[in-house]
Structure 1
Amino acid sequence: MLGNWDYLVIGLYLLFTMSIGMVCRKVAKNSSDFFRGGGNMMWWMTGMSGLASGLSAWTFTAAATRVYDMGFFMIYLYWLWVPAYLIIFFYLAQRYRQMRIITVADGIKRRYGRFTEQFWIWVQIPANMMIGAMWLMTVSIFMSAAVGVPLNWCILILGIVVTCVSLGAGAWSVIASDFVQMTIIIVGATTVLIRAVTLPAVGGVDGFMEQIPEGFTNFSVVESPSIWIAFLLLSMIMRIMQASDLSQEGAKFLSVKDGREAKKSAAMLTLGYLLVPIIAFVPVMICSFIYPDLSEIFPNMENPTEGAYMAIAAHVLPTGMVGLIVCAMFAASISSMDTALNRNAGFCVKNFYKEFIRPEADEKEQLLMGRVFTVILAVALITLATTLANNRTIGLFEFSNLVFSLVIPPMVVPAVFGFVYKKTPVWTGWSTVIVGFSAAFFTKTFISTDAAGKYIFGFGDQPMNSLESGDVTFMVITAVTLVCSISWFFFTSLFYKRVTPEHKESIDALFKDMRTPIDHVAEHSENNDATQYHIVGMLNLILGCLLMVGCLIPNSFSERMVFIYCGGVVTSIGGILLSIYRKKSKADSLVHGTYSRS
């Protein structure tokens, strides 16, 4: 499937991605820079980084399996995510930034107290490691299928690349990398979409619509309506919770420079999730027309449909471009895997090392320890991902849903409701997490999937297929855990009258901060807008030029023009960013407007 030119492109691209950490290294001057980008990132940077989680390797592997079987189902599911980002846009985005914290655990401490902060980080760290390992495993399965390298070696190599990016400037270099990778993915995926739709075997948009199987629009052909409708609704609720969760996607808004930029970032995410599923999933549907049996293409894959996007990309893209798309999908997943590295390292340094081991540690020492903990966590991440990959017995889509249903709901409730409703006692946070994990464990252990299908979804004695069984497992665990966690959270409000005056003052101060806009002059923030335009613009310009050099790879004239087109778009974006950088640099030199760091 891949030629020598593709392997050369993959090697060069991985080196380019690793270099991003070194390029950004000098930007990280203190722990705030390393763990949250200094709280000065611009909306277009954090917006693209947020989109990376929705257009990563999971989208092109695990989600692609559902698209291959049920067509428009996943497009509808992604569109149902839009309400989550509208809620963030109108209410949460600016409030999260205005909390004025460096790590998520700082916010937990202000809301629930020191004990809950420590309880939280030692539960959150292994949870983040599990999620990060799942992402690393997912992208490694994709790369292994595409490149033909053994899975364990893929996990090791890709884990090292992720570590190099995170080591450079922490969150700053990860966000910068996300922007560059997302530029490549959007341009490349759009190219795949156009070339796939215009294939003679497809016949354009009209031909595509005529060839759509019944199961791609009438999902009841593939799955019981009681299940797929409930799955869509519960997925929408979970996306609202997860996107609003300060410890998950909500953490992105800690990096933006102020509430106004946070709202712009949320608006970008809202628009992105309307367009992303069309770009990513239509080619997979076309793949089902051209390759009805993917086991012939991927005979060594346990679940060949996980390689559906890879198959159609290889079918329509020129030699060399396939390797580029493969690498960009991996690199865009760095943001998701970074949860297990940079964010956890922030907990270890700011909320443990600085509080208990070395309270006198200065910024230089904290920055060093941030990199030390990043390496330690990276070794653990690679080990865990290898273990999961070698013991997985179900498909990626079902496996990821199982992990999310067990790990996310118990943590998400106090991290969402605690910052919109304040009349609960100090022990609400940790006790809600315990109740949630207990409910998840009880449900997974004692509630039979077959029994749930029989009595809840009306299957009776009729057996469920593997798709239905996986969805029922996800829904039962998630629903029971959410109901128990939310019920317990609000039950504890009955004890709010016993809260000490000191804790009430702390909560009131937090909520006041969340309503107070950032004042860059009064709060001595640093203006590094020009630096962001400069670094990201240069990275895009260099990558775009390298892409255009790909036209020298032996291909037909039309295929060479694909490299010119893709490289030209990326170069143009880099040129625009550098043009803005020059204007801002001139303005800054006239005003001498730098603020000192808070």
Structure 2
Amino acid sequence: MVTTTAIILTAFVFYLAMMIVIGAVYMKKTSSSEDYFLGGRGLNGWVAALSAQASDMSGWLLMGLPGAIYSLGSGQIWIAVGLFIGTVLNWVCISGRLRKYTIVANNSMTIPAFFENRYRDKKKILLLISSIVIVVFFLVYTASALAAGGKLFNTVFGLDYHVALAIGAAVILCYTFMGGFMAVCVTDFVQGTLMLIGLLVVPLVAYFLLPGNLTDLITQSGVTGGANAYLNPFINGDRPYTFVEIFSQLAWGFGYCGMPHVLVRFMAVRSEKELKKSWVIAIIWDLLSLTAAFAIAVIGRAYLLPTILGENGAASSESVFIEMIRKVFTSQLALPFIGGLFLCGILAAIMSTADSQLLVTASAVSEDLYHNFIKKDADSKEILRVSRITVIVIAIIAFAIAWDPNSSIMGLVSNAWAGLGAAFGPIVVMSLFWRRTNLQGAIAGMVTGGLTVIIWDYIPLVGGQTLGTYTGLYSLAVGFLLSLVVIVIVSLLTKAPSKEITDEFDKVAAK
């Protein structure tokens, strides 16, 4: 008799094979570095929207966020609120302007190249700093995705975490290496669709299968303060949430305008018309998926009883969605395959971010570092070859970072999101909307944002504690705001940008 595990494994094999086939198809269509990094600026609205959101949300959406809400209560929803606001502003305010500006600014293919062209950085200082920022923080970000994949395979199939980690990394590496940007975007479109279906169906089915009243069951699960406190977004256990705690969670939204793997989708959209379609689709997808992630955590708290995740040898709280799928879809032989496909939705979330991060890091190394600092006469095919080698190297290093099975997905994502958001977010905003911003201000702001996050999160300055731990304030909020202030002050104290730069700015603003 075919076992449930074998049926679920069949679903996984089917899904992974489909992703690799997509990579192979687009490998034949990838002949230049522009094809590999931007897909020839040919994305349609649907693919751009779902690709951007799928690559943005990652395993964090299906594991990290539900796990935090499951453990700590509805107060963790402020992160989702901040991210939704950030998503809306990013698509409505940033996407169109960035797409136009990167075309006007010497057809920039990467965010570091855009900074260089925008400010006529002949010494390539901005290019170097931004490329290093991408490599450092994306290593951590990619590691978080690989760790989520390892935990998924470990929980579902009982595989050793390190074996599971290797399998997930190998598949992601395979299709990213082959197909480049279009393979990543098309697979992200499939994965974004699968993620949304799983997010909507699983909590709905689980809710109707509850053996009693939701609030009574949540209270029975032993949450501090009972169901009323657990479901109140302003209560943290037995005390009110502080302003700093809520602000820190909302501050996650600052990070959006500094995420290269999201911004590059804006640059690659086929036309203004397609871009407007994209942001409507993306905002609806984001609202539905974040709401569903919250429902997974809350309903899962009641549905999984008597099991309480994270206690008495049970799986960690970050596995709440996995455990719900396993419990919902094991009652009949026909259902495990469907459950397997929904579990693939978690894998989809993981893969859709890891592949994008690998690709952006590869572009930073090959196009921005190798082509500009090591071999300036490298042709497009050579840059493409270096890009593919970089994908392999970065995947191996991220694999090493993710080696610890106890690493927190939420923690890794939080650190990487803060670093990228604080270093890039302010300069992206000011580059697009403040005519007076100059090269010196841009350099100072980027360095300030990145260093603030590192100092805030990693250096113990107060009684053996970091400033982040001591104050409870998220480093992204501090780094982003300090960077903005520094950009303004340094730009005003130094020479105004040249007429060539301001004329280009005016040309974009007038479109």
- TM-score normalized by the length of structure 1: 0.74
- Rate the CA distance shift 1:79–1:483 in 2: closer, same or farther, 3 A: closer
Alignment match, 1:543:
none
Alignment match, 1:429:
442
Aligned length: 486
1:214 and 2:224 matched = no
Alignment match, 1:58:
60
State the secondary structure of the residue aligned to 1:361: coil
The correspondence for 2:126, drawn from 116, 123, 131, is 116
- Rate the CA distance shift 1:321–1:55 in 2: closer, same or farther, 3 A: farther
Whether the 8 Å CA contact 1:2–1:322 is kept in 2: the answer is: no
Alignment match, 1:306:
318
1:379 and 2:396 matched = yes
Structure number, greater radius of gyration: 1
- Which of 131-140 and 63-72 deviates more? 63-72
Distance 2:137 2:496 in 1: 29
- Rate the CA distance shift 1:198–1:342 in 2: closer, same or farther, 3 A: same
Whether the 8 Å CA contact 1:242–1:249 is kept in 2: the answer is: no
State the secondary structure of the residue aligned to 1:333: helix
- Rate the CA distance shift 1:105–1:165 in 2: closer, same or farther, 3 A: same
Alignment match, 2:508:
514
- Rate the CA distance shift 1:376–1:144 in 2: closer, same or farther, 3 A: same
Distance 2:368 2:231 in 1: 49
Whether the 8 Å CA contact 1:128–1:340 is kept in 2: the answer is: yes
User: Offset of 1:221 from its aligned partner?
Assistant: 4.6
Read off the aligned partner of 2:393 and give its amino acid letter.
Answer: I
Read off the aligned partner of 1:232 and give its amino acid letter.
Answer: I
Alignment match, 1:567:
none
Alignment match, 1:572:
none
- Rate the CA distance shift 1:401–1:365 in 2: closer, same or farther, 3 A: closer
Pairwise CA RMSD:
3.0
The correspondence for 1:439, drawn from 436, 452, 461, is 452
Q: How does 1:358-369 map to 2 (within 5 A)?
A: 358-369=375-386
Alignment match, 2:341:
324
Alignment match, 2:292:
279
Read off the aligned partner of 1:365 and give its amino acid letter.
Answer: E
Q: How does 1:211-290 map to 2 (within 5 A)?
A: 213-219=227-233, 220-222=235-237, 224-227=239-242, 229-239=243-253, 241-245=254-258, 247-290=260-303
1:146-201 residue CA offsets vs partner (Å, 9 max, x unmatched) = 22111111221111111112122211101100111222222233321331121151
The correspondence for 1:490, drawn from 485, 488, 491, is 488
Distance 2:450 2:269 in 1: 32
1:136 and 2:146 matched = yes
- Rate the CA distance shift 1:200–1:474 in 2: closer, same or farther, 3 A: closer
Distance 1:429 1:500 in 2: 11
The correspondence for 1:152, drawn from 116, 140, 162, is 162
Alignment match, 1:559:
none
- Rate the CA distance shift 1:442–1:119 in 2: closer, same or farther, 3 A: closer
Whether the 8 Å CA contact 2:258–2:422 is kept in 1: the answer is: no
Structure 1: which 5+ runs fail to align? 454-468, 518-598
Whether the 8 Å CA contact 1:247–1:415 is kept in 2: the answer is: no
- Rate the CA distance shift 1:44–1:305 in 2: closer, same or farther, 3 A: same
State the secondary structure of the residue aligned to 2:433: coil
Structure 2: which 5+ runs fail to align? 219-226, 330-334
Read off the aligned partner of 1:181 and give its amino acid letter.
Answer: Q
Whether the 8 Å CA contact 1:142–1:306 is kept in 2: the answer is: no
User: Offset of 1:266 from its aligned partner?
Assistant: 1.8
Read off the aligned partner of 1:40 and give its amino acid letter.
Answer: G
Read off the aligned partner of 1:381 and give its amino acid letter.
Answer: A
- Rate the CA distance shift 1:450–1:396 in 2: closer, same or farther, 3 A: farther
Alignment match, 1:587:
none
Distance 2:265 2:311 in 1: 37
Q: How does 1:44-123 map to 2 (within 5 A)?
A: 44-53=46-55, 55-75=57-77, 77-98=79-100, 99-100=102-103, 101-112=108-119, 113=121, 114-123=124-133
